[in-house]
Amino acid sequence: MLLDRGDATLGNPPPAQPIRSRASVSWSLKIKKKLKGVTPFLGKFRPTVGQCCHQCTPESLGMKLLKNSPSLGFQNVLHVNETRTRFRGWLVRRVCGLLFVQERKVYPSPAGDRAERVLRSSRVQSLISSGRPTGGAVAGEGSSHSGETAIAATARRGQAVQILEGIQTSISPPLLRLAGWILLKLLGRVFANVQVSLNQLVALHKAPQLHGAPLVFVSVHKSSLDYALVPLVLFCHSLRVPYMVSSTDLSHTWLRPILQKVGVIFPPRCPMGKADTETGALQCAVLSSCVSELLSEGQHLLLFLEEPGCVERRPSPCSAQWLSWVREAVRSGVVPDVALVPVGIAYDAPVEGLGGSRRQAPRCGGFLSLLLSALSLLGRSHGCVRLDFGQPFSLKEMISSGRLPVRGLPLEEILLPAVMGSRSDSLFADKSLGWVLPATACPQLEDQERHLVASLCKHLLYSATSCSAVMSTSMLSCLLLHRHRKQGVGVPQLARDFSWLLEEVLFRNRDVGFGGSLPEVLCHSMTLLRDSLVLCTPPSAPAPLVAPRSTPQAAMTLSRHCGALQHLFIHEAVGACAVSAMLSEMMDCVNIDEMDFDVALCQEELTERVAQLCQLLPSEALLLPPCQSVYSFAQDSIDSLVRCGILVMEELPRERPLCDLWGRRQALLWKSFDDLSNSDSDCEEPPDRRSYKLNQPNHCPDFFFFLCSLLSPLLRALSWSVCGLQHLYSPLTESECIERMQGFLLDKAQGESSYFESATLEMAATAVWTLRDLGVLKEEPGEGGAVCLQLSEAFQQPLAQGKLCRFIARFLYH
């Protein structure tokens, strides 16, 4: 356990203690015997995470909500004892949980006349009073026309009332306290602890007064338990529990009316793609008006940016639609502003979907699967959970900053010329985000407005992911899969690599969700990953060896854990793969393990390779803020490699060094303001083309290969998918195309007897989406109005497929 008491601790959580079981005892004895006497390696330094964007929201950043208070430490939300109540004594220790929830401050929110106000809103009234008869009858003349119009208006009003009855919700204090007590008991049997920073909670208490606006929490979605954890943390610290939007359907279960009384909104089936119809437009109008009424009451909202069954980290269209309604409420003046709060969640081991994909999670609804998952896992600890709340920032300030792009180009237009061997004039352009918020979802919005909302949704997902902590299981999985995969590693060397990786994480201003001494942290993470690891002691080895299992399930599990590190090292990883691509272009056949590091790389060509890879990678893998241009990302990638010591700028030999200013002293003298014969550029020499040389850092000689390996699973899946295009000649729906592509990737991995992390359902979906954006797969209408994907005529030729395969393979680390 990372926290063994409920009070706050200064600096960092108490030492981690491995979960005790019969299988974990041998692990602990073997590891601690070799690491005996190691001192705690994580001090009181904790980076400040969750600060808002300095480009889009400088005024909100200037409030310094996360820096104005001293360090208050962390707290285990699930550990409730008498010290967290106003009473003391032996009886209090037995009923402290009930006393704790009874003392929490709850903000009641009855429904009242909210439904009537929604029906009286101008947008709903305009759709009710004007429109075609719902039955599709042809209007007559005279009184017949007016009669049918009145009947149609009455029918549409009945539909609006029916929609409102489905989303009618409120917050009942007694029921909310009961739900909080049950969740504390239930989740306490599932997780060792749930960590939360007290400084971030203090900032949430101050934010509504400072911003003068309600809060909208925007969270990542990694597990079905997210629905319970975020409101529970806010409830346990006497913060206003927000109304939570759920995309699951519980219309025929007993759980729905109970959850509606604790602030859960169950909208009708997502009208995505139906908003241009009469029923879809009425649903959107009712939901938009409901959002405006909730915000005008001062209520808070909780939105999850990803679909519960999504196979990749990408913003969901439904969440983008809800954000567009929030923006509409601010733009129409219903509320002066809204404070957005990114929420990051990190698990040691999510309760579902690690070995396969999130699409394989229980499909009976998010809350019902939450309950079933928790009940099935009672008595089995799944490690720790860390919740981080970013600094609240103004929505109006972000929109008015003008930093978010309002248009983008299709990927086919940006990258396809480079794939075919010609030069692309729009290589540094922004990619289109039309899939986040399609035109059929919000037909009342213009194209630029829809792209602006999509950029906002992507920026929020980046902010929520950036403030998420890195867990010990992610670091251990990354080391074993991308650095010591083939031969394994001894426990002492693994401990040294773990300490090195921890320093790299903290150096990049990301916090970790653990603390304590090195042996305890390693035992804790190895115990949680024991099904994917092998621990053995060869006769000739002085210490036990740890290696990942060679099974497909183990490779997929470790790869899913590595996602947090891939996002953290994305600048360095993209830059390293671009360097590898330039080396492969210079030499027809090279063994990268034996290459010559004395190679000069031109900065312009390296920037172009970084931009090409940046455009090739899908948005969910790159996950960059839309306010950062592709050219800026390319420059940052090269600079990050220089800071790491992988690249060293080469100074060309010249008669006078650049630092010799005495030789140019006449040109650098002060001149009179009236003397316009000379300009400041007189002292400048013609710019030289910069170049870099590869270098081996002393602290980690194989850091370059480690960075290249981080993107290998995705690039390998893209390269394999091009080889499997012959399986996609006939028109297929997107789900059928992904399923068939995953089957081909699995066959490919089984043929290699390795790299099963490139054959997951997530990788197959990413490959299909990337090929569709590149124009390799074209969308065509199918039977029943379904959209099908078919191989385009240009890529039916083996020559075009070969060019695309070589373009992707040159970035791949071999």
Provide mean pLDDT across the span 415-424. Answer: 88
pLDDT at 518 over 80: yes
pLDDT at 658 over 80: no
Strand order of the sheet with strand 533-536? Answer: 489-490, 545-548, 533-536
pLDDT at 707 over 90: yes
Amino acid, res. 715:
L
Please report the pLDDT score of residue 357 as a whole number: 44
Span of 178-182, 282-286, 390-394, 401-405 with lowest mean pLDDT: 401-405
Query: Which class for 716: exposed (0-12), middle (13-18), buried (19 or more C-beta within 10 A)?
Result: buried
Q: Which residues in 301-420 belong to E strands, given as ranges?
A: 301-304, 339-347, 384-389, 393-394
Most confidently predicted of 221-225, 379-383, 465-469: 465-469
Please report the pLDDT score of residue 435 as a whole number: 77
Query: Which class for 809: exposed (0-12), middle (13-18), buried (19 or more C-beta within 10 A)?
Result: middle
Provide mean pLDDT across the span 179-185. Answer: 93
- CA 730, 736, 741 angle in degrees (round to 5)? 85
- CA 372, 376, 381 angle in degrees (round to 5)? 120
Q: Check: CB of residue 305 under 8 Å from CB of residue 460.
A: yes
Pairing of strands 384-389, 339-347: antiparallel
What does each C-alpha distance from 348 to 65, 237, 512, 672, 777 come to in angstroms? Answer: 28, 23, 11, 67, 38
- CA 547, 553, 557 angle in degrees (round to 5)? 75
Residues forming a β-bridge with 789: 732, 779
Pairing of strands 215-219, 393-394: unpaired
Token code pair at residue 635: 């420059």
Token code pair at residue 112: 């009242």
Report the b/e string of 504-543 with b at 16+ CB within 10 A.
bbbeeebbbbbbbbbbbbbbbbbbbbeebbebeeeeeeeb
Report the b/e string of 402-431 with b at 16+ CB within 10 A.
ebbbbebebbbebbbebbeeeebeebbbbb
Token code pair at residue 721: 């998918």
For 572-598, the pLDDT digits (tens) are 999 999 999 998 888 755 555 555 556
Span of 152-166, 391-405, 515-529, 791-805 with lowest mean pLDDT: 152-166
Please report the pLDDT score of residue 112 as a whole number: 84
Q: Residue 414: left if φ>0, alpha if ψ -120 to 50, beta else—which one?
A: alpha
Please report the pLDDT score of residue 2 as a whole number: 37
- CA 528, 342, 644 angle in degrees (round to 5)? 65
Q: State the Cα–Cα distance between residues 617 and 714, nearest whole angstrom.
A: 8
Strand order of the sheet with strand 647-650? Answer: 600-602, 691-694, 647-650
Provide mean pLDDT across the span 616-641. Answer: 91
Provide mean pLDDT across the span 524-539. Answer: 88
Please report the pLDDT score of residue 537 as a whole number: 79
Please report the pLDDT score of residue 616 as a whole number: 94
Confidence band of 322 (pLDDT split at 50, 70, 90): very high
Please report the pLDDT score of residue 380 as a whole number: 58
- Prediction pTM value: 0.87
Contacts of 327 (CB under 8 A, 6+ apart): 395, 399, 453, 456
For 247-300, the pLDDT digits (tens) are 776 766 778 889 999 999 988 865 444 555 777 788 888 999 999 999 999 999
Mean pLDDT of all residues belonging to the chain: 82
Phi, psi of 678 (to 5 degrees): -120, 150
For 662-704, the pLDDT digits (tens) are 666 555 566 555 554 555 444 454 455 678 988 887 777 789 9
**Around Cβ 571, how many Cβ atoms within 10 Å?**
23
Please report the pLDDT score of residue 145 as a whole number: 59
Q: Which segments of 191-254 does DSSP mark as H helices, in order?
A: 198-211, 226-236
Q: Which segments of 104-197 does DSSP mark as H helices, in order?
A: 114-119, 122-129, 143-167, 173-190
Q: Which of 139, 128, 187, 130 is nearest to 163 (CA)?
A: 128
For 786-796, the pLDDT digits (tens) are 788 989 988 98
Which residue is listed with tokens 């809103």?
Answer: 121
pLDDT at 211 over 70: yes
